[in-house]
Structure 1
Amino acid sequence: MNTTPRVSLHLVRGFWVAARHLSFTRAAAELFVTQSAVSREIKKLEEQLGQPLFHRVNRTLQLTQAGEELYRAVDEALALIDAATDRLAGVERSLTVTTTIPLASLWLVPRLPRFTQRQPAIDVRIVASNDVLDLVQAHMDIAIRYASPGGAAPPGRPLVGYSTFPVCTPALMRDPARPLRTFADLAQHVLLEFETTVHGRPWYDWEQWFSAVKVAKFKPAGRQRFSHYDQVVEAAMAGSGVAIGKRPHLNSKLQAGTLCAPFGTHGVASLGSFHVVVAPSATGRGAVGDAFVAWLRSEVRRDERAMAKKRD
């Protein structure tokens, strides 16, 4: 067995940090080197491997397929090393994560098996709450928090954009008696709404969406209102009507074809973004918190690739 690494482990470490941040600038800050030094190391590693690991899309850094493959391999290897060293040092390997109820039930929880497969030694506790909890007082390690457009951004770093658009079943969209081709066709359908019990009105209703995409108000065929967003989603999947869909919440259902967006990108209204906030409790156990945040970002990239492929 050849024990000599094919490529420099120093270069691999630099690649892993750059891939985790998807930024040479932030990687340089973490590694205490210049951005040009990171760029040179990545170029050298790409030359040794004979293929590119990064490419730029709309001024953002993205991993190529080869880059994704290498990043997963390095990340899993480092996770094994972290787990072994933590066990030897007696470090607690558990995390408490909080986010909104809809994002937890529709996006985060269904994906957790992939995190467990990747990090089997880390125990995860999910606390779903629409309240903004004090992470220290509530003994939370990581939060995924909503940042409204134009509002004060929460601490932490952006994770994924948040947008809304009409969704329904493919069968309802193709209904020959009531096809959904233009916004005006919505008048022939039942509109499904998420209505909060706290304020007694929808948190984000159809009227707000009409205003966001500049559509004149109209009287629909009917309305159904629900106190929980997952009920809205279930009603939409049952063919009861057209709902206001959310991304990233419904990404998996859009990818699977269970739901569709009849107006595509024309009906999208941006609602801001979600940020990842890491509490001091997780910062003190860096490898554990970093592993979860890195996995969250890999899931976002996974969604982006899947949605791009579906559009193609």
Structure 2
Amino acid sequence: MTSSLGKLPSLNALKAFEVSARHLNFRLAAEELGVTQGAVAQHVRGLEAELRVKLFERMPRTLALTGEGRSYIADIRRAFEIIARATVELKPQAVRLTISTTPTFASRWLIPRLPDFTARHPGYDLHILATERMSSFQADGVDLAVRYGKPPFGTGLATELLFEQEIIAVGSPALLTKRKPLRSAEELAEHTLLHDAHNFWPEFIERLGRPTDATFKGISFSQTSHAIEAAIAGQGIALTNREFVERDLDEGRLVRVLDGSLPAPANFYLVWQRYRKSPAIAALVAWLIAEVGTTASKD
């Protein structure tokens, strides 16, 4: 079967012509193509012979396109652009997944674990939308949300418990070289308390035993992650979800400074649109739950 395109010039020759036309120099064209200057010049001469048209004026240190060369290069460049675009569009496109989380969950739990997910699912393009504002599935293009609260979260939404909150008191090992763990509210009063927006300290102090008249020094933060960073830096004692500091405890950046824990009034849930039947969302949900199981298996 005869091709309707007719006989086309060599693709290598066309590429040599296109690069030479950009640089107006065979040596620079050869450097870009990774071949010798002689090979580029030979490709161009062969193309000119085949077309029976002179494409360049050869000068001592440069090249100049002829009128025919200027006309031809415009079409050749468009042809290469079409080939490049068709090639890109042919390749499988990454599946984009947008996860809505709080800033603390993103920085203290999700981001350190992401390399494992991306290694297992290289075809997924993740976008982390970290904000204290409750994002909209439709308006913000959210595929999966991690929400702190109690279900139900809305009609048409599927929900899966990610983990229950266990609130523990943590601090830098440098703070507790003499006494650890602390045993009373009086001992606790010797340290600075690091508060976040949840402010679990009053309830936690009550659980230490009898009421105390001790005056507690404190620093307040709008986000739990900042209170945790201050605790790591030795600035005081923070109350936080155990899941958020598991790695810091394992690696010795933090220690538990008080026995016991406090159950939180709400927990962390995975939430997504029930009608979305997406293998990508299912894979992400399964991986998140498995990651919590990995942490639990260490206990």
Q: Which TM bucket (shorter chain)? A: 0.5 to 0.7
2:261 is the counterpart of 1:288: no
- Match in the other structure for 2:164: 161
1:256-275 map, 5 Å:
256-264=251-259, 266-275=260-269
- Match in the other structure for 1:171: 174
Of residues 192, 204, 215, the one that matches 1:209 is 204
Distance 1:137 1:214 in 2: 49
2:182 is the counterpart of 1:181: yes
Percent identity of equivalent pairs: 29
Query: Residue 143 and residue 115 in structure 1: after superposition, are their counterparts in 2 closer, same or farther (change >3 A)?
Result: same
- Match in the other structure for 1:222: 217
2:243 is the counterpart of 1:241: no
Q: CA deviation at 1:298?
A: 1.2
Q: Which amino acid aligns with 1:94?
A: R
SS at match of 2:141: coil
SS at match of 1:145: strand
Distance 2:139 2:199 in 1: 30
Query: Residue 94 and residue 263 in structure 1: after superposition, are their counterparts in 2 closer, same or farther (change >3 A)?
Result: same
Q: Which amino acid aligns with 1:169?
A: S
Distance 2:170 2:234 in 1: 10
Q: Gaps spanning 5+ residues in structure 1: where?
A: 1-86, 195-201
Query: Residue 275 and residue 97 in structure 1: after superposition, are their counterparts in 2 closer, same or farther (change >3 A)?
Result: same
Q: Which amino acid aligns with 2:139?
A: Q
- Match in the other structure for 1:254: 249
* 1:213–1:269 CA contact under 8 A, matched in 2: no
How many pairs align?
206
Q: Gaps spanning 5+ residues in structure 2: where?
A: 1-88
* 1:162–1:272 CA contact under 8 A, matched in 2: yes
Larger Rg: 2
* 2:224–2:240 CA contact under 8 A, matched in 1: no
RMSD: 2.6
Q: Structure 2-normalised TM-score?
A: 0.62
* 1:192–1:244 CA contact under 8 A, matched in 2: yes
- Cα offsets for 1:92-128 (capped at 9, x unmatched): 6110000111111110111111111111111100001
- Cα offsets for 1:207-254 (capped at 9, x unmatched): 243356766354345212223322211111111111112132222212
- Match in the other structure for 1:131: 133
SS at match of 2:266: strand
Q: Structure 1-normalised TM-score?
A: 0.59
- Cα offsets for 1:161-218 (capped at 9, x unmatched): 1121211122323x22x54331322122111112xxxxxxx43241243356766354
* 2:184–2:208 CA contact under 8 A, matched in 1: no
Q: CA deviation at 1:90?
A: 6.2
SS at match of 1:250: helix
Distance 1:165 1:159 in 2: 18
* 2:165–2:264 CA contact under 8 A, matched in 1: yes
* 1:161–1:248 CA contact under 8 A, matched in 2: no
SS at match of 2:255: coil
SS at match of 2:165: strand
Query: Residue 89 and residue 276 in structure 1: after superposition, are their counterparts in 2 closer, same or farther (change >3 A)?
Result: farther
Q: Which amino acid aligns with 1:291?
A: A
Q: CA deviation at 1:299?
A: 0.7
Query: Residue 235 and residue 215 in structure 1: after superposition, are their counterparts in 2 closer, same or farther (change >3 A)?
Result: farther
Distance 1:225 1:136 in 2: 34
Query: Residue 213 and residue 97 in structure 1: after superposition, are their counterparts in 2 closer, same or farther (change >3 A)?
Result: farther
SS at match of 1:297: helix
SS at match of 1:249: helix
* 2:181–2:256 CA contact under 8 A, matched in 1: no
